[in-house]
Every structure is written in C-alpha cells, then in structure tokens.
Amino acid sequence: MFYWLILFVVIFLAINAVSKNQAKAQRQRAKAEVQKCRICPECAEGIKVEAKKCRYCGISLMQVTEDELAQIDKAYALEISKIENMGVTQPKNKKYQNNDVWK
C-alpha cells in the first residue's frame, strides 16, 4: 500500500516537471520568432533593421537613425516582456473597476 503512494507522488512530480519544461520551451520559441524590424516607407512591409534594400518592393532604404533605433528597441523589449509574462494575470482591484470613479 505504501508503494502505491510513493509511485503516485513520483508520477505526479514527473508530470509537473515535464509540463513546466514544455511551457519554458514554448516561451523560448516565441522569443526566437520576435525580430527587430522596421516598416518600409514604400510598401509598408516589415523588414529587418539591418536591411539596406526592401525585399518586397526593392526600394533602397536609408540608414536607421538613433531615434528610430530607440523606438524599435523599445517595441522589441515590449514584445519580449509580453512573452515572458504570458499566462500571468494581474489581480484586479475592485475599487477601481467602476468607470465613474475617474470622472
């Protein structure tokens, strides 16, 4: 009887560990898919920051300015933080759910 209990606990821990590893691997795959890109001014397609020519329309692109690069880095960091916090929800404060409070 005691062996069944130990076996149940071991199986439960193994399943729990595997599910955590799968979730972590899924987050890593999603992070790898996020790329730093900018929008082509001619065709409005997303292209890599390092690109000198648009692969869709063939227009020659100007170099990225520091301001544009800062905006791209900010958007990239936001996407990465969304992926890292996937499945995490903030508890809602019921006191501030009423829209009339802020009027």
Pick from 74, 76, 78, 71: nearest CA to 35: 76
pLDDT at 96: 56
Return the pLDDT at 22: 80
Cα separation, 21 vs 88, whole angstroms? 17
pTM over 0.85: no
pLDDT value, residue 103: 45
Q: What's the confidence (pLDDT) of residue 83? A: 81
Could you report the average pLDDT of every consecutive run of 10 residues in the chain (103 residues)? 85 82 79 83 89 91 90 88 72 56 47
Check residue 95 and give its pLDDT: 56
Angle at 26 between CA 20 and CA 30, to 5 degrees: 145
The pLDDT score that the predictor gives to residue 18 is: 79
